[in-house]
């Protein structure tokens, strides 16, 4: 029922919301250096991510009211994702007001995302006292299967189901590691999903698959609260995809991509997924690396002769940190990487939706790999566990 409700809220709300966006001319402004084939998308409504954001939050709030319970991990994850969503909404609105593709300052965005990740790490570390103060009891499902199914970040907290396990797959790390991981994970995932969102249905489809995979892992391992959050949010994103698939009637905008990035990053940090999170997010990681590589290669290949001879290391540093005149070379046709594939495959007659389908299939393959590794680790843990059930 919660899955159907989340999906229905998004699907039923989007037609009226799209009409409202068109009325107020809240539309996409394309990058000048973007693909020329995307020119027809210039007036497509944006900030559509508001719909699946609200659908997820409202459904989870309704579940909490109906069950008469409060789950701190869910609340914290949604707060983190919503902060990222508000940041994206501010970015989308700034672009609309300025009528350009330049929104909120990149430095400000990174600062807010990093601060949010740092705050999340502190909440995870000090969750016990915080939750006692908020509600007076812990939400850990005492009857759940405590066998670790993948490597958890350990802490004696209800955030981590396997915190009391003695299984060899449990890796114990100091709280400082949790803080560092969380501080890095939120800005990393939000910006990665944001960069990945560049074609009709691309980020929505891959995010849907990621959320379903994470939900499966959490359900099987006994983290039903996180599992429900994944499936409910996946249902709302699937509803959005009906309007975002090629040709898109609405874009999720930075509102949607930053919300999804914050949601997935917070789920990874709170759920304690470490090793399997990397292959699951591999497409997003490669997309981010492609942008960094493109920028670096472009700067390094600019012709520059210093007035005074300097060392190679200083020359590289100067090129990377100083805005020099002239044109450099490009490593890819265009970055992020999905635009590179789009340009190459377009020459072979492939359309945009076919390129998107290729990325969906790649993400689906990664999801099957992650689930296979998860069940293999689970089988090993159950076979070697010393836990008495």
At 281 the pLDDT is 96
Please calculate the CA angle 234-284-55 and round it to the nearest 5 degrees. 20
- Segment holding 119, helix H or strand E: helix 106-125
**How far is residue 264's CA from residue 232's CA, in Å, rounded to a whole number?**
13
At 32 the pLDDT is 59
* Residue 388 CB-density burial (10 A; 0-12 exposed, 13-18 middle, 19+ buried): exposed
Range of the domain at 218: 2-280
Of the candidates 84, 2, 141, the one whose C-alpha atom is nearest the C-alpha of residue 266 is 84
Of the candidates 75, 173, 181, 176, the one whose C-alpha atom is nearest the C-alpha of residue 131 is 75
**Is there a contact between 5 and 59 (Cβ–Cβ < 8 Å)?**
yes
Residue 229 lies in a domain: yes
Of the candidates 203, 202, 175, the one whose C-alpha atom is nearest the C-alpha of residue 189 is 203
For the chain, the farthest-separated pair of C-alpha atoms sits apart, in whole angstroms, at 73
Residue 149 lies in a domain: yes
Sign of the C-alpha dihedral computed for residues 210, 216, 217 and 219 taken in this order: positive
> Could you give phi then psi for residue 27, rounded to 5 degrees?
-130, 165
Of the candidates 253, 323, 189, the one whose C-alpha atom is nearest the C-alpha of residue 48 is 253
Residue 204 lies in a domain: yes
Q: Total structural domains in the chain? A: 1
Name the CA dihedral angle for 132, 136, 140, 141, rounded to a multiple of 10 degrees.
180
pTM: 0.88
**How far is residue 57's CA from residue 240's CA, in Å, rounded to a whole number?**
15
Residue 79 lies in a domain: yes
Q: What is the DSSP letter of 326?
A: S
Residue 178 lies in a domain: yes
**Is there a contact between 279 and 330 (Cβ–Cβ < 8 Å)?**
no
Predicted confidence pLDDT, tens digits, the chain (389 residues): 999 999 999 999 999 999 999 998 898 776 656 566 676 777 899 999 999 999 999 999 999 899 888 888 899 999 999 999 999 999 999 988 887 777 788 999 999 999 999 999 888 877 654 444 444 333 333 333 322 223 343 333 333 333 333 434 445 556 777 788 899 999 999 999 999 998 999 999 999 999 999 999 888 877 888 999 999 999 999 999 999 999 999 999 999 999 999 999 999 988 877 778 999 999 999 999 999 999 999 999 999 888 888 898 999 999 998 888 888 999 999 989 999 999 999 999 899 999 999 999 999 999 999 999 888 877 776 676 544 33
* Residue 337 CB-density burial (10 A; 0-12 exposed, 13-18 middle, 19+ buried): buried
At 381 the pLDDT is 66
Residue 151 lies in a domain: yes
**How far is residue 21's CA from residue 41's CA, in Å, rounded to a whole number?**
15
At 383 the pLDDT is 72
**Is there a contact between 265 and 189 (Cβ–Cβ < 8 Å)?**
yes
Q: Report CA-CA distances (Å) from 301 to 6, 195, 297, 326, 336.
A: 49, 24, 6, 10, 19
Residue 378 lies in a domain: no
Residue 63 CA, distance from chain mean position: 23
Q: What is the DSSP letter of 45?
A: B
**How far is residue 235's CA from residue 303's CA, in Å, rounded to a whole number?**
51
CB atoms within 10 A of CB 322: 10
CB atoms within 10 A of CB 142: 7
**How far is residue 325's CA from residue 310's CA, in Å, rounded to a whole number?**
19
**How far is residue 270's CA from residue 182's CA, in Å, rounded to a whole number?**
9
Name the CA dihedral angle for 167, 173, 179, 183, rounded to a multiple of 10 degrees.
-80
**How far is residue 363's CA from residue 233's CA, in Å, rounded to a whole number?**
18
**Is there a contact between 194 and 261 (Cβ–Cβ < 8 Å)?**
yes
Q: What is the DSSP letter of 303?
A: -
Residue 360 lies in a domain: no
């Amino acid at each position: 029922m919660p899955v159907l409700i989340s999906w229905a809220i998004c699907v039923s709300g989007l037609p009226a919301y799209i009409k409202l966006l068109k009325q107020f001319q809240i539309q996409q402004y394309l990058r000048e250096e973007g693909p020329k084939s995307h020119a027809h998308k210039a007036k497509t409504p944006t900030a559509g991510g508001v719909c699946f954001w609200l659908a997820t939050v409202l459904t989870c709030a309704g579940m909490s009211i109906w069950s008469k319970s409060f789950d701190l991990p869910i609340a914290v994850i949604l707060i983190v994702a919503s902060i990222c969503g508000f940041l994206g909404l501010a970015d989308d609105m700034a672009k609309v007001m300025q009528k350009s593709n330049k929104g909120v300052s990149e430095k400000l965005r990174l600062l807010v995302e990093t601060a949010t990740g740092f705050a999340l790490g502190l909440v995870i570390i000090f969750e016990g006292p915080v939750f006692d103060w908020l509600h007076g009891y812990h939400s850990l499902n005492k009857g759940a299967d405590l066998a670790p199914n993948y490597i958890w970040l350990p802490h004696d907290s209800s955030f981590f189901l396997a915190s009391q396990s003695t299984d060899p797959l449990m890796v114990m790390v100091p709280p400082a590691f949790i803080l560092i991981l969380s501080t890095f994970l939120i800005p990393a995932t939000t910006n990665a999903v944001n960069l990945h969102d560049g074609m009709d249905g691309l980020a929505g489809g891959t995010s849907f698959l990621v959320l379903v995979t994470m939900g499966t892992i959490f359900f099987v391992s006994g983290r039903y609260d996180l599992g429900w959050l994944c499936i409910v949010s996946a249902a709302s994103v699937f509803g959005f995809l009906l309007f975002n698939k090629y040709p898109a009637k609405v874009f999720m905008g930075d509102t949607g991509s930053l919300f999804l990035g914050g949601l997935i990053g917070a789920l990874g940090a709170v759920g304690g997924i470490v090793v399997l999170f990397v292959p699951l997010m591999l497409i997003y990681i490669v997309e981010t690396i492609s942008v960094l590589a493109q920028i670096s290669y472009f700067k390094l290949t600019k012709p520059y002769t210093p007035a005074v001879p300097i060392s190679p290391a200083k020359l590289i540093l100067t090129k990377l940190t100083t805005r020099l005149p002239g044109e450099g070379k490009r490593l890819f046709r265009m970055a992020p990487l999905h635009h590179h594939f789009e340009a190459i495959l377009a020459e072979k007659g492939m359309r945009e939706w076919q390129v998107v389908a290729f990325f969906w299939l790649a993400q689906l393959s990664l999801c099957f790999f992650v689930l296979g590794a998860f069940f293999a680790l689970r089988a090993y843990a159950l076979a070697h566990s010393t836990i008495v059930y």
